[in-house]
Structure 1
């Protein structure tokens, strides 16, 4: 009987009644090989160790944790990008507001800009109503009401007070108690004992056709020391007065041609107390 030497069979022993052994019929040159059952056992152990789709469970858990970390990192980066975009939008909005405010036309000090209800704007209300204007020489001998410089030197207007260039008035756009003052300086080239002048501060009020005198002074007798010679005379008026909204305050001088050319010798102003 022929057999293949590559696949040896296990030896077979015959046991007799006395418990002895008899040699098997297997040729003595064959060596027993138990590799086949051992290989089957090894495959069984490998099949038990692969429990999650052919991959060990511990390796699968590690891969899952890595994926979760990657997704968490991506989510955090997306949140950071959204925050940066929001900050950039806020910065651009602030810059736009600053540019708009910078290029917006500035309000001229002293101008009265009422809104639709006739009330002054909030920004203008916050400034204290006040004005100080300097003398201006106008070569009109018949014009007794003086004109002033509202911007030269230390002159200014603020808050609810405006200078009216057409008639030389300071218009009050807020009722209240005001301190009103005026100083004039006149030069008499041929002064004599009868020389004199009048200095008047008056108001023109809405709804009244008659002018209301606020303060008045009459100067005379100042040329007794040097008759028929040059002489400088001055007068100052000032006091607290109750003014109404839209009142226009003026200054009159009886001899406007005698006014000195000194801006700081002739001035007019008021401020709310």
Structure 2
């Protein structure tokens, strides 16, 4: 009879061999000893090992975070230190520049007397010498100098004297000198020509400073009237008391228009 050692045995009854009836009922509940399995060796290392690994991982993570925080703090302190160094450097450069500027300046402690110009002298210094002459041009046969209107319409003179058709400057400097004349004739000849000059008189000596010369103004056997103009202008270095005037070759052919003939100058510097 096979027995299961893992469970209690079944009850056993004793019977009389002669009568086939039980002589007495005896119940034996025999508790058979359990089949004991080999004792298990407790594994005390597995759960603690996992906990230990987990603790170690957490420790490494905390250590890494600590290193990151430390590096960030070091970077912050380094940036603050660099900023402080730059500020100190700028302050040093500003102080050095201020001392240098103070050294280059010459302070004048002594009181100075302010001297002002009177109104007449101030106006003379602020106003530039200028003149503009217009009009029915006429040239003197004896002097060869054209005459102009000095006070008619737009004509004026400021800081310049008008003397017998010429303009005399009162101070040395650079002047822009200009002149325009217009010639007109009913008859035309191919050999006709004209000369337009601007001259300067210095120490009683005359010198041409600008000149325009044209010829061949019309065709041969032409019966049409002709008209032409000449314009001169340039910057000249004039000295005090220089006289500037205009001269033309054919004063009888000058136009009678006031605004077609003009002459002037103005001081640049």
Give the TM-score normalised by the residue count of structure 1. Answer: 0.51
Match of 1:129 in 2: 129
Which one of 152, 174, 179 corresponds to residue 176 of structure 2?
179
CA deviations on 1:114-167 (whole Å, 9 max, x unpaired) are: xxxxxx955333321111110324386666421001111111111x21212xx2
1:168–1:140 Cα change, 3 Å: closer
- Note if 1:250 corresponds to 2:245: yes
For 1:253 and 1:148, the matched residues in 2 are separated by: 13
For 2:255 and 2:179, the matched residues in 1 are separated by: 15
Q: In angstroms, what is the RMSD of aligned CA positions?
A: 2.1
Match of 1:238 in 2: 233
Which one of 201, 219, 223 corresponds to residue 218 of structure 2?
223
1:147–1:183 Cα change, 3 Å: same
Unaligned stretches of 5+ residues in structure 1: 1-119
1:162–1:122 Cα change, 3 Å: farther
Match of 1:19 in 2: none
User: For residues 21-170 of structure 1, what are the structure 2 equivalents within 5 Å?
Assistant: 121-138=121-138, 144-158=144-158, 160-164=159-163, 167-170=164-167
Between Structure 1 and Structure 2, whose CA radius of gyration is higher? 2
Q: Is the 8 A contact 2:140 2:147 kept in 1?
A: no
For 1:269 and 1:147, the matched residues in 2 are separated by: 12
Q: Is the 8 A contact 2:140 2:146 kept in 1?
A: no
For 2:262 and 2:151, the matched residues in 1 are separated by: 12
Match of 1:198 in 2: 195
Aligned length: 149
Q: What is the SS of the residue equivalent to 2:138?
A: coil
For 2:221 and 2:153, the matched residues in 1 are separated by: 34
Q: Is the 8 A contact 2:195 2:213 kept in 1?
A: yes
1:142–1:224 Cα change, 3 Å: farther
Q: Is the 8 A contact 1:191 1:230 kept in 2?
A: yes
Q: Which stretches of structure 1, 4 residues or more, deviate above 6 A after TM superposition?
A: none
For 1:141 and 1:257, the matched residues in 2 are separated by: 11
Give the TM-score normalised by the residue count of structure 2. Answer: 0.51
For 2:215 and 2:143, the matched residues in 1 are separated by: 21
